[in-house]
């Protein structure tokens, strides 16, 4: 695929025409659909409402918990399928849970005590809650609008609690050391991914946004060949490998850009790179 911004006008018209087949649009939240203030800009709202008015299928695919996206779904008018916790949960357009896969307690027992060896904050997403063992005010700003906040518990209670996703928050250097330590335990079947430099996330081995999208679209009788996905993080890698039309946000890290050099590019998420791309090439 050729970058729309790097081609001659005649070729650009041909490339844009190829986008006419797209009928499904998938959006990551943080760093993509949400701006730097963690809200959907008026322009992005207008663009997504315009997609809906034209009969396109919309999907939210995020590392956030399903309870953390309800506010934004209401903003968008509802009737939108969601992939949450990086694919551990899938809900259909009506909000019905159609897929769930959590982590075995063995993962809790093995990984959670490691957090104490590194300067990181330990968090867990369950079916209904965000749990932590120590307060971290820096993590709360991103959830002010949605009002989805953590509940503090002790380590032993967390180890005994079934999880959809484990999340370690901290400086990237510390998280890289933690990741290396985790990878020494080859018996664990897990998927480790950085959704952001300061977020290291753990899901079951087969869980990803890409896998979840395949499951969802099959149930909806839709094709990944007619799907476009917007994202900015390494937790979007499998999603981009799944869809025919990946769109990398300009604010994405160099690793993601290098993995998908031929993907379309959208301007930065702040204030409204998604809307600018959609109005330029789709709407």
Dihedral of alpha carbons 46, 51, 57, 63, sign: negative
The CA distance from 106 to 115, in Å, is: 16
Instruction: List, as one string, the DSSP characters of 83-136.
Output: EEGGGTEEE-TTS-EEEE--B-HHHHHHHGGGGGGTTEEEEEE-SS-EEESS--
In the annotation, is 197 catalytic? no
The CA distance from 52 to 161, in Å, is: 39
**Catalytic option among 28, 196, 232, 236:** 28
The DSSP H or E segment spanning 173 is: helix 172-183
Assign 214 to helix, strand or coil.
helix
The CA distance from 63 to 42, in Å, is: 23
Assign 163 to helix, strand or coil.
strand
**Which positions are catalytic?**
28
């Amino acid at each position: 695929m050729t970058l729309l911004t790097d081609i001659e006008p005649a070729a650009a018209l041909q490339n844009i025409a190829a986008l006419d087949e797209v009928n499904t649009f998938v959006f990551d939240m943080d760093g993509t659909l949400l701006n730097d203030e963690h809200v959907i800009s008026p322009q992005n709202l207008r663009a997504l409402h315009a997609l809906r008015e034209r009969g396109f299928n919309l999907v939210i695919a995020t590392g956030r918990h399903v309870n953390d996206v309800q506010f934004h779904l209401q903003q968008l008018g509802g009737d939108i399928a969601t992939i949450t916790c990086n694919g551990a949960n899938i809900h259909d357009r009506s909000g019905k849970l159609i897929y769930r896969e959590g982590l075995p307690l063995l993962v809790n027992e093995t990984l959670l005590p490691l957090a104490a060896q590194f300067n990181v904050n330990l968090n867990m997403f369950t079916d209904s809650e965000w749990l932590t063992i120590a307060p971290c005010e820096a993590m709360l700003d991103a959830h002010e609008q949605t009002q989805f906040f953590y509940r503090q518990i002790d380590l032993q209670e967390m180890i005994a609690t079934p999880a959809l996703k484990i999340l370690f928050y901290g400086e990237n250097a510390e998280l890289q050391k933690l990741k290396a330590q985790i990878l020494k335990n080859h018996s664990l079947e897990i998927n480790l991914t950085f959704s952001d430099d300061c977020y290291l996330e753990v899901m079951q081995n087969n869980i990803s946004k890409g896998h979840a999208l395949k499951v969802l679209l099959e149930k909806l009788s839709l094709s990944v060949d007619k799907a476009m996905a917007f994202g900015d993080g390494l937790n979007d890698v499998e999603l981009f490998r799944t869809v025919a039309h990946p769109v990398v946000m300009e604010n994405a890290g160099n690793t993601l850009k290098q993995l998908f050099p031929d993907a379309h590019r959208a301007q930065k998420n702040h204030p409204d790179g998604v809307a600018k791309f959609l109005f330029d090439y789709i709407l």
